């Protein structure tokens, strides 16, 4: 019985993670749903054991089931999102109208007149007519507030040569993987050495929400 328990636990963990290393989308979907069924079985088994007098040991099996269920649902949601984004390229989703700010603007003016006024999180910094870098609230917070009136956005920005970028022809799923891997919220979209736009998590979510509303 104990051997069977560990076998099922191993299958449940693998299925909850969707066997994502080597199995295609359809198989991952089936695996994720299988993981949910196994997880539900563990939860029921845990509750039955608890009511039969197994105490905390019985509940522990139920907690394992809850963990598997959460993992399986997360995997299934990721699979569905990737299916909806299949074939969609960055150029189809990116924002082309991101605001541009003169690099000589001080941070206090920038926050008051741009960030708070527009609600936009990402701004491109322009110098001599060309994009020199990018700034977000993360870079602003790195500067002591008392120094905002005396610090230019150029001093606080991420220079363009240090920016992680993506091609407009890349698939959106690839861009999302880059965002997750590097723990960032947006990526400049670059073609032929020029920034064509910005793709962000929010932009992708808006795209997915619109497609869901249109049942596409």
Residues 6+ positions from 57 with CB-CB distance below 8 Å: 49
Domain that holds residue 151: 90-213
Query: Of the spans 3-7, 65-69, 149-153, which averages the highest pLDDT?
Result: 149-153
CATH number of the domain where residue 149 is located: 3.10.580.10
pTM: 0.57
Contact 185, 139 (CB under 8 A): no
**Model pLDDT for residues 87-104, shown as the tens digit of each residue:** 889 999 998 887 889 999
State the residue for tokens 């020199």.
Answer: 132
Q: Are residues 76 and 164 in the same domain?
A: no
**Model pLDDT for residues 12-32, shown as the tens digit of each residue:** 444 444 444 444 444 555 555
Q: How far apart are CA 147 and CA 62, in angstroms?
A: 53
Grade residue 36 by pLDDT with cuts at 50, 70 and 90: low
Q: Are residues 124 and 199 in the same domain?
A: yes
pLDDT for the residue numbered 15: 45
Q: For residues 110-125, give the mean pLDDT.
A: 89
Q: Looking at the 3D structure of the chain, how many domains does it have? A: 2
The percent of residues in the chain predicted with pLDDT above 90, rounded, is 25
Return the structure tokens found at 144: 């002591």
Q: Are residues 202 and 163 in the same domain?
A: yes
Q: Are residues 15 and 108 in the same domain?
A: no
Grade residue 135 by pLDDT with cuts at 50, 70 and 90: very high
Q: For residues 172-199, give the mean pLDDT.
A: 86
How many residues are given for the chain? 216
N-terminal to C-terminal alpha carbon distance within the chain: 47
Q: For residues 63-69, give the mean pLDDT.
A: 67
């Amino acid at each position: 019985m104990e051997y069977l328990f560990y076998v099922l636990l191993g299958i449940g963990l693998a299925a909850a993670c969707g066997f994502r290393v080597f199995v295609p989308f359809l198989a991952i979907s089936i695996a994720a749903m299988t993981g949910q069924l196994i997880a539900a079985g563990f939860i029921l088994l845990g509750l039955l054991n608890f009511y039969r007098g197994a105490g905390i040991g019985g509940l522990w099996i139920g907690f394992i089931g809850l963990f598997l269920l959460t993992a399986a649902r997360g995997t299934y949601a990721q699979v569905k999102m990737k299916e909806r984004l299949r074939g969609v390229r960055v150029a189809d989703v990116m924002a082309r109208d991101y605001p541009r700010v003169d690099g000589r603007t001080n941070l206090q003016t920038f926050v008051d007149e741009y960030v708070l006024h527009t609600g936009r999180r990402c701004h491109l910094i322009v110098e001599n007519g060309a994009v020199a870098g990018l700034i977000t609230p993360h870079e602003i917070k790195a500067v002591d507030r008392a120094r905002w009136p005396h610090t230019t956005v150029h001093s606080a920005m991420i220079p363009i040569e240090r920016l992680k970028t993506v091609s407009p022809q890349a698939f959106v799923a690839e861009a999302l993987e880059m965002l997750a891997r590097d723990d960032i919220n947006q990526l400049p979209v670059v073609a032929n050495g020029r920034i064509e736009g910005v793709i962000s998590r929010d932009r992708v979510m808006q795209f997915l929400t619109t497609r869901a509303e249109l049942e596409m």
